[in-house]
């Protein structure tokens, strides 16, 4: 999404090309660790050079999509599931490693026992 402003055209989110040439410390001002910055740059570079064809995720099932995303440094199960939920709109995916989300789900469903990762998937599968 391009945004017009007094400084010219900007983007709501940076494009991979915008991130690929940065160094990891450039992300510190946004609260990212050196390692997270490095991971973002690696992913941006993979998008630019064609190694990461993220548009292909839409054609893969959930498990294959998660496995594809886990190939990238810094992407864990929570991040991969979050991409499927928010980025691809797959409402049948719930990031079960998110403790806050698990607690909210437990409360919303009026469950007595805490949920673990597998428990989240059991209750959301219904």
> β-pairing, 8-11 with 2-5?
antiparallel
Looking at the predicted structure, is the pLDDT value of residue 1 above 50?
no
Q: Which CATH superfamily is domain 1-52 in?
A: Hypothetical protein; domain 2 (1.10.340.30)
Looking at the predicted structure, is the pLDDT value of residue 11 above 90?
no
* Active-site pick, 18, 97, 98, 116: 98
Both tokens of 86, joined, read 């928010």
Predicted local distance difference test score (pLDDT) of residue 22: 92
Predicted local distance difference test score (pLDDT) of residue 12: 72
Predicted local distance difference test score (pLDDT) of residue 4: 53
Under 8 Å between Cβ of 44 and 33: no
Ranges of each domain in the chain: 1-52, 57-91, 94-126
**Phi and psi based region of residue 110 (left: phi greater than 0; alpha: psi -120 to 50; beta: remaining):** left
Give the model confidence (pLDDT) of 77-107 as tens digits: 999 999 899 889 998 888 889 999 899 999 9
Average pLDDT over residues 45-55: 88
Is 98 an active-site residue? yes
């Amino acid at each position: 999404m391009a945004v017009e402003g007094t400084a010219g055209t900007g983007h709501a989110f940076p494009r991979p090309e915008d991130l690929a040439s940065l160094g990891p410390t450039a992300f510190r001002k946004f609260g990212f660790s050196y390692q997270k910055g490095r991971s973002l740059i690696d992913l941006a570079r993979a998008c630019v050079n064609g190694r990461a064809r993220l548009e292909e995720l839409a054609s893969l099932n959930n498990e294959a999509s998660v496995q594809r995303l886990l190939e990238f440094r810094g992407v864990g199960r929570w991040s991969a599931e979050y991409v499927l939920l928010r980025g691809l709109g797959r409402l049948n995916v719930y990031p079960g490693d998110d403790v806050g989300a698990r607690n909210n789900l437990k409360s919303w469903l009026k469950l007595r026992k805490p949920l673990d990762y597998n428990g989240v998937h059991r209750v959301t599968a219904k």
